[in-house]
Amino acid sequence: MLQVEQIDYIRLEANQKGCTYSGVASRMNLDPRTVKKYADQEKFEQRGKVVRPSPIMDPVKPIVDKWIKEDLKKKKKNHRTAKRMYQQLVKNHSFKGSARTVRDYVSKRKRELKEYIEESSLPLDSTPGTAQVDFGTAPFEYNNVVIDLPYLVMSFPFSNCFYFQVFPSENTECLLEGLQRMFHYMGGVPRTIRFDNLSPAVKKIGAKGERELTETFERFVLHYGFQYEFCNPGKGNEKGHVEAMVKYVRNNFLLPECFITDLDHFNEAQWQLAEEDRDRLHYDKNVLQSVLFSEDEEEWLILPEKKFECARREEVTADKTGMVTVDKKLYSTSPRFAKEKVRVQISYNEIMILNDHNEIIVKHSRLYGAKRKSMVWQPYLHLLSRRPRAIKYTNLYEQFPPIWTDYLMNCTEEEQKEALRLLGTLLKNNDFSLLNKALKQASSHGHPSSDHIKHCFYTLRKDNRLYQEVEPKVKVPPVPEATRGLSHYDAFFKQEVTT
């Protein structure tokens, strides 16, 4: 087909200047009949693409399309090559075409499917396999006190389904822990996830909308391979589905205040509640939401082999008492690290202090709320044993079981030194259970020494070992009953009575 410029030239020369068809054809190196055709043409309709039937490829195109869609959910290194697809078609589907035919079709079809996925991610509210994420807050009753806690919601606009988990904060570690829990419970990763400009994910928004992401969030995205989208600042309506679902979850599952004793146990129960909610018709499509959710599942990416470590590491300097500051909270290390740098691994629920070899020095539960200091005294006990008078200036007694508090208060200074050295040696992971039993047993005859407590401790630990009674394979004959004295020897000295 001629270019638009060529057709314009033909119509100008032939129709307006009166040149002959053959003269124009000669100058343009065309057939005169072609010149006449375009000079006389009345309509210039857009010609549709002619699709020629392919008797060889048409029967196997659905199979190849299915393979390509499956591969697009995996890492590139795990994609089947066109050559491998050709071999499978020949072996399993009696394909008679050439490898080149398959290669050309696979190349073209991959381009089309990738373009479709990229374009379809724009109308997020109606595309299977996509999700929206946001935090909400709700009141909870904890230790007889009502507190507000955040909960993370992942909604699926296509099926109108959701998952949610409750956390102690809206920090980066809680966000990533929640997303990872959902991915692994679902068994897949949404292709595209839309977020608000959450501070756990977005560090800074540039003048032209560019976003500087937090380093941990960037690594998380790379690990799971999903595409992320962020709403424009002040445009929360761009994730309207999850905002509506946040309200729906609060009204239907979290009000009135839920009573929480263990947050992890509470969250485990929420998976089933979210799944039971799918057994209703979609508000617009008149189809069960559980059926639509299965279409979401078909479009998810495959999970990576390993989980992501939802934690960040920092290097901080301890003060002269060995305390470090993490997110404006104080955590103890050990006296030997006073004024030295230590590594801190921060997850949503733990703070681990590490040495240069990444070995754990001490482990803390992460602090939230009003409490500002976490003290694990075990690493400090040997230091205190050299200065027992300093105990009264610490909160050591508050952290000890009452039985040990009473014992130490009734000790002399020298006895306190020995007792603290003993605790520094025997106490592991702040577990006083066996030490409490040892002290109670040792105290049964009065005020015990450290050596007496130590002896009871090791005796109890030995007695706590479990032994299995083994049935003997050989039958042992019964042992005759023992008798006291020497009367059984009289049998050797009895005289025979003769008649």
Quick one: tokens of 117? 């996925």
For residue 101, the one-letter residue type is: T
Q: What is the reported pLDDT for 252?
A: 93
Longest dimension (CA), the chain: 172
Q: What is the reported pLDDT for 2?
A: 73
Q: Of 67, 78, 310, 304, whose CA–CA distance to 189 is shortest?
A: 304
Helix 413-426 with 402-409: angle, nearest 10 deg: 150
Q: Is 283 left (phi over 0), alpha (psi -120 to 50) or beta?
A: alpha
Q: What is the reported pLDDT for 71?
A: 82
**Cα distance between residue 439 and residue 457, in whole Å:** 8
Are residues 333 and 323 in contact, defined by beta-carbon separation less than 8 angstroms? Answer: yes
Q: Of 63, 76, 59, whose CA–CA distance to 109 is shortest?
A: 63
Helix, strand, or coil (residue 365)? strand
Residue tagged 């935090």 (tokens): 135
Quick one: tokens of 493? 């000295």
Q: How far is CA 389 from the centre of its chain?
A: 47
For residue 29, the one-letter residue type is: N
Quick one: tokens of 437? 């039993």
User: Which one-letter DSSP state was computed for residue 250?
Assistant: I
In sign, the C-alpha dihedral spanning 260, 265, 267, 271 is negative
Q: What is the reported pLDDT for 264?
A: 93
Helix, strand, or coil (residue 472)? coil
Q: What is the reported pLDDT for 479?
A: 62
Residue tagged 């949404």 (tokens): 190
**Cα distance between residue 100 and residue 119, in whole Å:** 29
**Cα distance between residue 152 and residue 137, in whole Å:** 9
Q: Of 131, 150, 177, whose CA–CA distance to 254 is shortest?
A: 150
For the residues of 442-489, what is the DSSP string, one character each? HGGGSSPPHHHHHHHHHHHHHHTS--PPPPPSSPPPPPPPP-SSSGGG
Q: What is the reported pLDDT for 466?
A: 41
The tens-digit pLDDT sequence of the chain (499 residues) is 677 778 878 878 887 778 898 988 888 888 989 888 888 876 555 554 555 778 888 888 989 988 888 887 777 777 888 888 999 999 999 898 899 999 889 888 888 876 655 555 444 447 899 999 999 999 999 878 899 999 999 999 999 999 999 999 999 999 999 999 999 999 999 999 999 888 888 888 876 667 888 899 999 998 999 999 988 765 555 678 999 999 999 999 998 899 999 999 999 999 999 999 999 999 888 999 999 999 999 999 999 989 999 999 999 999 988 899 999 999 999 888 889 999 999 999 999 999 888 888 899 999 998 889 998 877 888 777 777 776 666 666 666 788 988 898 888 888 888 988 888 888 876 678 899 999 999 999 899 999 999 999 999 888 765 444 445 555 656 666 655 555 656 655 555 555 4
